[in-house]
């Protein structure tokens, strides 16, 4: 296990809730389930894990429970986000003894710093921990796009090891793959663009949709690695609609509905301001689950 090398299929694990509380039973069940799937790493308390709704004690419990199941078997990254460099440095110090291998850290949200500000933000955080850091560039959530030139400067720092790329600019993503150093990983976080990102040289994906049909997502990358391009494209044509379905309403609500229907978690509950899936989408997901069962 090499936490400094992020590649393959990674899962930003959902956080199960029940009656307003962290559902540790479902969390253990889910963690064990995905250990049996072709998942190369796991991220906790990130966007898909509703990390912004977790208080400090809940995040610590989430990490402890999940790590008890998976630590040492696949890498665990902790998702972090914030807009105050000082507070983020304190969070790194506070979590220094937690059983995680590395961090996934989003660009500062809402404040929209300059490229110089973004560089100094991540450089400051990298200087406060020996753990690897993957940068999370998602402009449509944070309000700021981390330019490739800035990211490549950050890649020169020893423990900045990769990026979860959600810039949604395929030219920017392709140019980054072309220019990045060999030790720096580019992982797409855009589920519906997974196939295209792989064909352009991305190292893998951090995909919320891979909570379902996990093996099928992993198989597409393996086919491309072995040069089986036509079967990979055919497989992707059958899978891309699943990714689109699971983002038809704000994530992770549709994913939780699917996992609940599949019996993996005991409740589809999300925390406000997230809302349960609509009846129309629930019916579509239920239909897709039945089709997947028949095809299995």
Range of the domain at 45: 8-228
Q: Is the pLDDT of residue 72 over 70?
A: yes
Q: Is the pLDDT of residue 296 over 90?
A: no
Please check whether residue 203 lies inside any domain of the structure: yes
The reply to whether 87 belongs to the active site is: no
Please say if the pLDDT value at position 12 is more than 90: yes
On the question of pLDDT at 4 being above 80, the answer is: no
Residue 76, in any domain of the structure: yes
Q: Is residue 169, in this structure, part of any structural domain at all? A: yes
The reported pTM is 0.96
CA 121 to mean position of chain CA atoms: 21
CA distance 219 to 215: 6
CATH number at residue 71: 3.20.20.70
Catalytic residue (choose from 77, 103, 119, 136): 136
Task: Please give the torsion angle defined by the CA atoms of residues 126, 131, 134 and 140, in that order, rounded to the nearest 10 degrees.
Answer: -70
Catalytic residue among 103, 164, 195, 256: 164
Q: Summarize pLDDT for 30-53 with one digit per residue, the tens.
A: 999 999 999 999 999 999 999 999
Number of domains within the chain: 1
Backbone dihedral angles phi then psi of residue 133, each to the nearest 5 degrees = -130, 130
* Residue 14 belongs to a domain: yes
Q: Higher pLDDT residue, 117 or 292?
A: 117
Q: Is the pLDDT of residue 157 over 90?
A: yes
pLDDT above 70 coverage of the chain, percent: 99
In a domain, 15, yes or no: yes
Q: Is residue 240 part of a domain?
A: no
Is residue 71 one of the residues assigned to a domain? yes
pLDDT computed for residue 10 by the predictor = 98
Mean pLDDT on 214-235: 97
Mean pLDDT of the chain: 96
Q: Is residue 92 part of a domain?
A: yes
C-alpha angle 195-174-226 in degrees, rounded to nearest 5:
45
119 part of the active site: no
pLDDT attached to residue 20? 97
CA distance 31 to 9: 15
């Amino acid at each position: 296990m090499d936490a400094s090398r992020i590649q393959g299929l990674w899962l930003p694990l959902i956080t199960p809730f029940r009656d307003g509380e962290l559902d540790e039973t479902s969390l253990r069940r889910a963690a064990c389930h995905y250990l049996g799937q072709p998942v190369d790493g796991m991220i906790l308390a990130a966007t898909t894990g509703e990390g912004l709704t977790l208080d400090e004690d809940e995040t610590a419990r989430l990490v402890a429970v999940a790590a008890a199941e998976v630590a040492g078997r696949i890498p665990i990254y902790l998702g972090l986000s914030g807009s105050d460099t000082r507070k983020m440095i304190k969070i790194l110090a506070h979590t220094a003894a937690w059983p995680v291998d590395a961090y996934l850290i989003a660009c500062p949200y809402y404040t929209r710093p300059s490229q110089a500000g973004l560089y100094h933000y991540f450089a400051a955080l990298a200087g406060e921990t020996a753990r690897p850091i993957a940068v999370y560039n998602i402009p449509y959530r944070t309000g700021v796009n981390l330019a490739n030139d800035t990211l490549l400067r950050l890649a020169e720092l020893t423990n900045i090891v990769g990026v979860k790329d959600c810039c949604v600019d395929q030219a920017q993503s392709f140019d980054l793959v072309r220019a990045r150093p060999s030790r720096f990983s580019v992982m797409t976080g855009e589920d519906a663009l997974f196939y295209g990102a792989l064909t352009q040289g991305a190292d893998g994906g951090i995909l919320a949709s891979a909570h379902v049909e996990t093996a099928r997502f992993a198989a597409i990358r393996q086919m491309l690695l072995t040069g089986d391009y036509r079967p990979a494209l055919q497989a992707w044509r059958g899978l891309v609609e699943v990714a689109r379905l699971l983002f038809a309403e704000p994530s992770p609500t549709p994913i939780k509905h699917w996992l609940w229907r599949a019996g993996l978690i005991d409740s589809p509950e999300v925390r406000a301001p997230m809302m349960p899936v609509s009846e129309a989408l629930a019916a579509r997901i239920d239909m897709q689950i039945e089709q997947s069962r028949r095809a299995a």
